[in-house]
């Protein structure tokens, strides 16, 4: 940190900054736009990203794409549109990420942690040392659904005017991309993440297993699951699960399922 600031005071500061900040970190930060209605916003978001050095755009079921309005709003960033990955589900977009943060103006009950844009930028850049991470933006009218938020480990809110806090989608992408760039420029050496974090796909498989096991144990009634799974997701999202922890939890679930099956077999046997 100290020598970065020394660097900023030097005359050839651009060169110094470029040699200290690692471009691979930005390449691992993915901007995910879910269910975007207006193609112009996709183009404007690509422009917002490219001006700040981000390049990985992922679109989850965009209403209209590709499209000339998207190209027009993208201006010199149409390369990002050409490379954009299109997914049919948010889970698919996040499958290989170890950290996904939902970007939302409204505070929800589902996600454990609410971060400011600078806090989120530090977290993303720290995790980006080991693999892909994502910022997830919602639809222009409805924002992020609870289901979409339940795939994220945290929430980022831009502290806007409480009387009118809803930014245009691409403007929100610009604010976050700018924050990430400032954090990236200011920090040369990042601490290693402490845990070997589980990926989105591993965590989703765990939740699937948990739900099945809880139904088999008759703790959860599949007919009326209520909010139990959402509450459990919230609990686990708060802990930042490591790969090994997911494996232990799944081992416990399997042991409980097997014990239940043995008990069922024994009581069927008695009844015969």
Residue 157 beta carbon to ligand SAH: minimum distance, rounded to whole angstroms: 5
The closest alpha carbon to 55, from 111, 152, 128, 153, belongs to: 128
Please say whether the beta carbons of 81 and 43 come within 8 A. Answer: yes
The closest alpha carbon to 121, from 158, 167, 164, belongs to: 158
Rule CB under 6 A: say whether 167 interacts with ligand SAH: yes
Among 12, 19, 116, 165, binds ligand SAH (CB under 6 A): 165
Binding to ligand SAH in span 93-132, by CB under 6 A:
103-106
Residue 185 phi, psi (nearest 5): -70, -35
Work out whether strand 133-137 and strand 29-34 pair parallel, antiparallel, or are unpaired.
parallel
Angstrom CA distances, 191 to 30, 125, 175, stand at: 20, 10, 24
Residue 210 beta carbon to ligand SAH: minimum distance, rounded to whole angstroms: 28
Rule CB under 6 A: say whether 230 interacts with ligand SAH: no
Among 59, 115, 134, 169, binds ligand SAH (CB under 6 A): 169
Taking contact as CB under 6 A, which single stretch among the options 76-84, 118-126, 139-147, 258-266 is the one that binds ligand SAH? 139-147
Taking contact as CB under 6 A, which single stretch among the options 19-27, 47-55, 89-97, 152-160 is the one that binds ligand SAH? 152-160
Rule CB under 6 A: say whether 138 interacts with ligand SAH: yes
Distance CA 176, CA 123 (A): 13
Residue 133 phi, psi (nearest 5): -135, 165
Residue 219 beta carbon to ligand SAH: minimum distance, rounded to whole angstroms: 33
Binding stretches for ligand SAH (CB under 6 A): 103-106, 137-138, 140-141, 143-144, 157-158, 160, 165-167, 169, 172
């Amino acid at each position: 940190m100290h020598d970065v600031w020394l660097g900023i005071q030097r005359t050839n500061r651009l060169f110094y900054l470029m040699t200290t900040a690692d471009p691979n970190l930005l390449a691992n930060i993915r901007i995910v736009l879910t269910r975007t209605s207006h193609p112009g916003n996709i183009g404007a978001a690509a422009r917002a990203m490219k001006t700040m050095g981000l390049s990985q755009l992922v679109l989850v079921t965009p209403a209209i794409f590709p499209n000339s309005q998207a190209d027009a709003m993208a201006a010199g960033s149409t390369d990002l549109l050409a490379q954009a990955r299109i997914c049919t589900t948010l889970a698919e977009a996040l499958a290989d990420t170890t950290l996904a943060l939902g970007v939302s103006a409204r505070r929800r009950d589902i996600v454990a942690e609410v971060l400011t844009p600078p806090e989120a930028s530090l977290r993303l850049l720290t995790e980006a040392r080991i693999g892909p991470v994502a910022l997830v933006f919602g639809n222009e009218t409805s924002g992020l659904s609870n289901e979409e938020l339940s795939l994220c480990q945290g929430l980022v809110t831009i502290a806007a005017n409480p009387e009118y806090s809803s930014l245009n989608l691409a403007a929100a992408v610009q604010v976050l991309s700018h924050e990430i760039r400032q954090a990236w420029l200011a920090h040369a050496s990042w601490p290693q993440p402490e845990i070997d974090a589980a990926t989105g796909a591993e965590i989703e498989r765990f939740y699937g297993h948990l739900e099945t096991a809880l139904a088999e144990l008759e703790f959860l009634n599949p007919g009326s699951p209520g909010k139990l799974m959402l509450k459990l997701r919230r609990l686990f999202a708060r802990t930042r699960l490591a790969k090994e922890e997911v494996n232990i939890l799944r081992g416990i679930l399997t042991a409980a399922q097997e014990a239940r099956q043995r008990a069922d077999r024994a009581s069927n046997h008695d009844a015969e």
